[in-house]
Chain A
Amino acid sequence: MIRHDVLKTLIPVISDQMVVCNIGAPSQELFSLDDQPTNFYMLGTMGLASSIGFGLATAQAKPVIAIDGDGSILTNMATLATIANNPRSNFTLLIIDNGSYGSTGDQPTYAGARTSLAAVARACGCESVVEVSAKDTAGAVSAALQADEMTVIVSKCDSGNVPAPVIGMNPITIRERFMAAVAG
């Protein structure tokens, strides 16, 4: 299963949840599969999906799922220490780990080689960390939403993308409709 397959299985679980989605192919694929006002699409700024999602979870009580990737977590790995030291039970960090920089031509990342992001998250102090296969990801996210505990999920899947158009929506529109959904 590639990321797009994982996202497809996630839709019934996350469709009405607050989702902060990583830049590039992940946001484009999610937008094509199931555009929702509850989705915040990153149009730029590699690496910050987890930090944005965590800031959102800190500011309010609704559950927040940040969908990040292995390459972007490696870019901003220290945020795992921030997250671990200020835990929020309404926050779920889903790292879709396909071992590659999917949006730029599937170049391999270190997470696909010797580096375990689950082990990094645990070493940073995150208490509930699970590594799951692609097919078990939706179940893990569903369990994380029901648990009264912050969860980091590393979903190991295959490298590859499905062609999806660039998101043409205005960034202010994305933010304003997302904020209305958060406040609603």
Chain B
Amino acid sequence: MAKQMDRRIIGDLADNGVDFITSVPCKQLAGVIEVLDQTPAIRHMPSNKEDEGMGLCAGAYMGGMRPAIFMQNTALGVVMNSLATLIQFYQIPLPMLISYRGEVGEPVACQVEMALHTKAILNQLQIPTYHFHTPGDADELPGILNHAQMCRKPVAILTDASFWRAAA
């Protein structure tokens, strides 16, 4: 069941001009994906794997659309090459709304393993990274989306369990 926060995030993306989103689902992103599918202004094309999604986004961008991707932090293990050799090398702006699994409140122990590497990978790739831990952190989203377009880079928005639990 979508929350007000899910509607607000999709609203901010649409207001920024994002009109193409690809996704690989996560339970924490179920609400935003539900709202996305009710938002005709944004074309939603689910991917089977996140590196495929990076390809779709690169193509959509070159065709004049403004893409974004929704994915889980575990997918950073999948997309490193695509981020470095496609999105960064060709300077394609790409907001990545990432479900940050494995933080406090996580019920699945295995998720902690990739949580330990998440910020290190993003740091190693020199990707601007923003961590939404409390609902107020989402106030930064419009600015982050502008920043991605301005610097033509991928940016990571990590949304953890505390953020989603506290969000109305």
Interface residues of A (CB under 8 A from B): 20, 40, 42-45, 47-60, 76, 78-79, 81-82, 86, 171-172, 174-175, 178-179, 182-183
Residues of A within 8 A of B58 (CB): 48, 52, 55
* Contact between chains at A82 and B56 (CB < 8 Å): yes
What are 28 inter-chain pairs, A to B, with CB distance below 8 A? A20-B59, A42-B86, A44-B85, A44-B86, A45-B82, A45-B85, A48-B54, A48-B55, A50-B55, A51-B54, A52-B62, A53-B59, A54-B55, A55-B20, A57-B59, A58-B56, A58-B65, A59-B20, A59-B65, A78-B52, A79-B55, A82-B46, A82-B56, A86-B45, A171-B89, A175-B62, A179-B62, A179-B64
Residues of B within 8 A of A54 (CB): 55-56, 59
Interface residues of B (CB under 8 A from A): 20, 43, 45-49, 51-65, 67, 81-82, 84-86, 89-92
Residues of B within 8 A of A52 (CB): 55-56, 58-59, 62, 86
Most chain-A Cβ atoms within 10 A of its Cβ — which of B63, B64, B84, B89? B63
With both beta carbons as reference points, the residue of chain A lying nearest to B47 in the complex is identified as A82
* Contact between chains at A47 and B51 (CB < 8 Å): yes
Q: With the chains together, A171 CA to B92 CA distance in Å?
A: 11
Residues of A within 8 A of B20 (CB): 55, 58-59
* Contact between chains at B89 and A55 (CB < 8 Å): no
Chain B min CB distance to A171 (Å): 5
* Contact between chains at B62 and A40 (CB < 8 Å): yes
* Contact between chains at A81 and B55 (CB < 8 Å): no
Main secondary structure of the interface of A (DSSP, over half): helix
B60 contact from A44, A49, A55, A78, Cβ within 8 A: A55
B86 contact from A48, A56, A76, Cβ within 8 A: A48
With both beta carbons as reference points, the residue of chain B lying nearest to A52 in the complex is identified as B59
Q: With the chains together, A86 CA to B48 CA distance in Å?
A: 13
Residues of A within 8 A of B57 (CB): 55
Q: With the chains together, A170 CA to B126 CA distance in Å?
A: 21
Q: With the chains together, A171 CA to B152 CA distance in Å?
A: 14
With A82-B46, A174-B90 as known contacts, state yes or no: A45 contacts B55, CB within 8 Å.
yes
* Contact between chains at B55 and A76 (CB < 8 Å): yes
B85 contact from A43, A78, A179, Cβ within 8 A: A43
Chain A min CB distance to B116 (Å): 27
A172 contact from B56, B65, B67, B91, Cβ within 8 A: B91
Residues of A within 8 A of B59 (CB): 20, 51-59
* Contact between chains at B60 and A82 (CB < 8 Å): no
With both beta carbons as reference points, the residue of chain A lying nearest to B91 in the complex is identified as A172
Residues of A within 8 A of B90 (CB): 171-172, 174-175
Q: With the chains together, A177 CA to B62 CA distance in Å?
A: 10
Residues of A within 8 A of B52 (CB): 48, 51, 76, 78-79, 82
* Contact between chains at B60 and A58 (CB < 8 Å): yes
* Contact between chains at A79 and B48 (CB < 8 Å): yes
With both beta carbons as reference points, the residue of chain B lying nearest to A51 in the complex is identified as B55
Q: With the chains together, A120 CA to B168 CA distance in Å?
A: 45
Residues of B within 8 A of A175 (CB): 62, 90-92
* Contact between chains at A45 and B46 (CB < 8 Å): no
With A48-B55, A48-B86, A52-B59 as known contacts, state yes or no: A59 contacts B45, CB within 8 Å.
no
Q: With the chains together, A48 CA to B61 CA distance in Å?
A: 14
